[in-house]
Amino acid sequence: MERTFRTLKANEIDCRVAQIASNWLTLLLYKNARVDMDILDETVGAMNWKREHLRDNANCVVSIYNEDTKEWVSKEDTGTESFSEAEKGLASDSFKRACVNWGIGRELYSAPSIFILPNKDMIPKGKDSEFYQNDKGKYETKTRFNVSYIDYDSNRRIKDLEIRDNKGNIRFSQLSKEVEKQFLKTSQELSKLLNSVEEKDDKFNRDRFYEYFGVKTDSQLTEEQKLEAIELLKKTEKAKSNEK
Confidence of residue 201 (pLDDT cuts 50, 70, 90): confident
Q: Which amino acid is at 42?
A: E
Q: Is the pLDDT of residue 91 over 60?
A: yes
Evaluate whether 115 touches 24 at the Cβ level (below 8 Å): yes
Look at 70-84, 87-101, 132-146, 174-188 and tell me which has the smallest mean pLDDT. 70-84
Rounded to whole angstroms, the Cα distance separating 158 from 29 reads: 11
Percent of the chain at pLDDT > 70 equals 90
Rounded to whole angstroms, the Cα distance separating 74 from 63 reads: 4
Confidence of residue 18 (pLDDT cuts 50, 70, 90): very high
Confidence of residue 97 (pLDDT cuts 50, 70, 90): very high
Contacts 24+ apart (CB under 8 A), 133-142: 133/22, 139/20, 139/21, 139/22, 139/25, 140/20, 141/17, 141/20, 141/25
Q: Is the pLDDT of residue 165 over 60?
A: yes
Rounded to whole angstroms, the Cα distance separating 21 from 126 reads: 13
Evaluate whether 64 touches 102 at the Cβ level (below 8 Å): yes
Q: For position 3, what pLDDT does the model report?
A: 65
Helix ranges restricted to H, 176-222: 177-200, 206-212
Instruction: Work out the burial of residue 15: count CB atoms within 10 Å of its CB; fewer than 13 is exposed, 13-18 middle, 19 or more buried.
Output: buried
Instruction: Work out the burial of residue 116: count CB atoms within 10 Å of its CB; fewer than 13 is exposed, 13-18 middle, 19 or more buried.
Output: buried
Count Cβ neighbours within 10 Å for each residue of 126-162 and write b for 16 or more, e otherwise.
eeebbbbeeeeeebebebebbbbbbebeeeeebbbbb
From residue 237, alpha-carbon distances to 32, 207, 211 in Å are 41, 18, 19
Question: For residue range 104-119, what is the model confidence (pLDDT) as tens digits?
Answer: 999 999 999 999 998 8
